[in-house]
Amino acid sequence: MARMESYVLFLFVLGLGIVLRAGEEKKRIERLGTALKPYRIEGLMETLVDGYLRALGEADFERREQVWHALEATEAALVRDLGRLSDDLQRAPRADFCLSTLPVPIPYAVQLFPPATLDLRRLVAIHAAGIARVAENAAGLERRTRAYRMTAEIYLLQHSCHWYCKSRAVATARLVRRHKTGYEQVLAGVSDETRAAYLGLFGRRP
């Protein structure tokens, strides 16, 4: 009888945790969605990634050049919108944009375990600076390398946003499912400056 009661209690706690976690995720998705709404960031990122693939696969020189030139305007728009989003988030309460670094998703983990958190506002600032750096291309990277690096910067930004809305495990799985790319591969593909700033938030060295 005691075992049955323990089992029922376990199921109750598990069910309650799932309900609370789902409610928290919904609020996070709505909050980030509200912050993103004034901008075209998601569409611009998709356009860039698809455009890079098209340009790299285009055999005709003139058409390839047209695609590259069109992508430069898209990059500039993404840099502008990301910079504005980052500025908006800096004015938002930190508590609204913290994410948990615990290995498993726990309801209200940010409130229960404050030391095990990251500030999405700081992450977005790092991503915005990294994408702007690649767009500026002060390093003089050739187009294929630059496209690869920008794609990695975009994927890492998406990973941070999905981590905030869901969890790190879900964000990483989504990278593999949608882009056939692992988290470590994305992290290796971004610029040294982005990687150092990003890992610095975890207290790790690149």
Examine the pLDDT at 114 and tell me if it is beyond 60: yes
Given pLDDT bands bounded at 50, 70 and 90, which one contains residue 6? low
**Distance between CA atoms of residues 93 and 26, nearest Å:** 18
Does residue 206 lie within any of the structural domains?
A: no
Residue 178: pLDDT band with limits 50, 70, 90 = very high
Of 77 and 26, more confident: 77
* Cβ within 8 Å of residue 188, ≥6 positions away: 152, 195
The reply to whether 90 falls in a domain is yes
Q: Is the pLDDT of residue 7 over 90?
A: no
Is 122 inside any structural domain? yes
User: Is residue 158 one of the residues assigned to a domain?
Assistant: yes
What total of structural domains would you count in the chain? 1
Q: Are 75 and 154 in contact (CB under 8 A)?
A: no
201 contacts 163 by C-beta, under 8 angstroms = no
Chain-centroid distance of CA 169 in Å reads 13
pLDDT tens string 68-109? 999 999 999 999 999 999 999 999 999 999 999 988 777 777
Which spans in the chain are helix H? 2-36, 41-57, 61-90, 109-112, 120-136, 143-165, 168-179, 183-189, 192-200
What's the whole-number mean pLDDT along residues 51-77?
Answer: 93
In a domain, 76, yes or no: no
Q: 10 is in which domain, residue-wise?
A: 2-38+83-200
Beta bridge partners of 87: none
What is the rounded average pLDDT for all residues in the chain?
A: 88
43 in any annotated domain: no
